[in-house]
Amino acid sequence: MVHTEPHHPSKFVTPRAQAAALHTAIDGSELIVLSDGLAVQRWQLTHDGGAVRLSLQAGGQGALARDAALAACETALALYPLEAALQLDQAPPALADQLLQGAALQMGDGRLRLPVERFWQEAGLWLTRAGSTAYPLQYTMSNGQRHPLRAPKPSGQVYARQIPWLGQVFSLRTVDIERDLPTFNRWMNDPRVAHFWQEEGDLEKHRAYLAQLQADPHMLPLIGCADGKPFAYFEVYWAKENRIGPYCDAADFDRGWHVLIGEESVRGRAWVTAWLPSLMHYIFLDDVRTQRIVGEPRADHHQQLNNLDRNGFAKIKEFDFPHKRAMLVTLLRERFFGERRLAPAGVAAAELSHCQHLNLPNARSE
What positions carry a catalytic annotation? 296
β partners of residue 46: 53
Task: Tell me the DSSP string of 150-174.
Answer: PPPPP-SEEEEEEETTTTEEEEEEE
- Phi, psi for 132 (deg, rounded to 5): -90, -10
**CA–CA distances in Å: residue 277 to residues 23, 86, 123, 136, 210:** 22, 20, 15, 28, 25
Residue 354 near residue 6 (C-beta atoms within 8 A): no
Secondary structure of residue 205 in the 3-state scheme: helix
Residue 88 near residue 112 (C-beta atoms within 8 A): yes
Q: Which DSSP helix (H) or strand (E) runs through 295?
A: strand 292-295
What is the spatial distance between Cα 200 and Cα 190, in angstroms, rounded to a whole number? 8
What is the biggest distance separating any 2 CA atoms in the chain, rounded to whole angstroms?
Answer: 66
What is the spatial distance between Cα 321 and Cα 180, in angstroms, rounded to a whole number? 29
Residue 293 near residue 284 (C-beta atoms within 8 A): yes
Q: 264: burial class by Cβ within 10 Å (0-12, 13-18, 19+)? A: exposed
Dihedral sign (CA 191, 197, 201, 202): negative
What is the spatial distance between Cα 33 and Cα 26, in angstroms, rounded to a whole number? 9
- Phi, psi for 115 (deg, rounded to 5): -60, 125
Q: 325: burial class by Cβ within 10 Å (0-12, 13-18, 19+)? A: exposed
CA-closest candidate to residue 33, choices 2, 51, 1, 60: 60
What is the spatial distance between Cα 185 and Cα 362, in angstroms, rounded to a whole number? 50
